Structure 1
Amino acid sequence: MQPLQFAVPIGALDALEPYIAHAVLALVVVNMLTRIRAHSVHERQVEDGAEELSRYTPHSLSTLALVFVSFVFLIVEPHGGMVMSVIAVGLLLTDFFEFESRQVEARNDMTFERPKGAVAASLLALLYAGYQSLFVFVEPLWNAII
């Protein structure tokens, strides 16, 4: 008996198991692209004289989707999913605090910086999602060495 057998249809996830790691990688890339777009929208808002920035909805949705799919990956692949879930939740928290710091910069007429912490967290997420998703290409060489 599976521990989450009654809460999550684990049998339905078996068919999607080979694709979930690729979906996580795709969502990390989409999240990085929406982060770039969000930063340009925020820069434009600051140039127009807006004191309060607004959250960029596609970026918020892609971050939430990344967290949700990483939790699904946790069900399918416990070890890799746990690491990816921690990275995704860390990325969500980093995005939250980076947006707050951009608001402080906009209100106080400070120089508007790039979200360095969120970029670093997303690069870490990209590296780990790439490792989980694309390991099949490196596996023969890895097994020959190890």
Structure 2
Amino acid sequence: MDPLQFLVPLGWLAAVGPVLPYAIFTMAVANLVTRHLAHRQHVDQGTDGDSVEPYTPHVFTNVGLLLLGVLFAIDSPISGVIVSVIVITMLLADLFELEARNVEARNDMAIEAPKSAIAASVLLLVYASYYALFFLVEGIWNQFIVA
């Protein structure tokens, strides 16, 4: 008996649970793509104006990753919490990096890449690829672990 079965109906999550690592991996790749596009837009906005606005598709991938991380934490608690912590770290880095880009734009400085947010995104991609693509290296992995 699941302790949360009366509080939250989780039956649908059992059906979607096995595909959550693939969804997180796909969203992590999309997040890196939108991060690159957002940086290009921020560079354009920084040279044209006084402020930098958030890039809407990038915000969508951030929120999507947060929701998928919470769902993954319900389905697989330890792995999901690790993914959620990395996503929250990435979101906080994005907030601080956006403010740093605004400061650079207001002071007519060169717009730098969001290095800490990129590092958190890459860490998330590595962790998500471990879960989503483990079947590619499972045979080799089991030979080293069992032997």
Calculate the TM-score normalised by the size of structure 1: 0.94
Measured after TM superposition, the shift of residue 104 of structure 1 is 0.6
Measured after TM superposition, the shift of residue 109 of structure 1 is 1.3
Cα distance in 2 for residues equivalent to 1:8 and 1:23: 22
Is contact 2:90–2:121 with CA below 8 Å preserved after alignment? yes
Letter in 1 for 2:4: L
Sequence identity (%): 46
Partner of 1:43: 43
Superposed CA RMSD: 1.1
- Is the deviation greater in 8-17 or in 100-109? 8-17
Partner of 1:11: 11
Letter in 2 for 1:89: I
Give unpaired runs (5+ residues) of structure 1.
none
Partner of 2:34: 34
Partner of 1:69: 68
Measured after TM superposition, the shift of residue 7 of structure 1 is 4.0
Letter in 2 for 1:53: V
Cα distance in 2 for residues equivalent to 1:5 and 1:26: 29
CA deviation profile, 1:42-73 (whole Å, cap 9, x unmatched):
1111122x101111111111101101101101
Measured after TM superposition, the shift of residue 8 of structure 1 is 3.2
Cα distance in 2 for residues equivalent to 1:6 and 1:119: 40
Calculate the TM-score normalised by the size of structure 2: 0.93
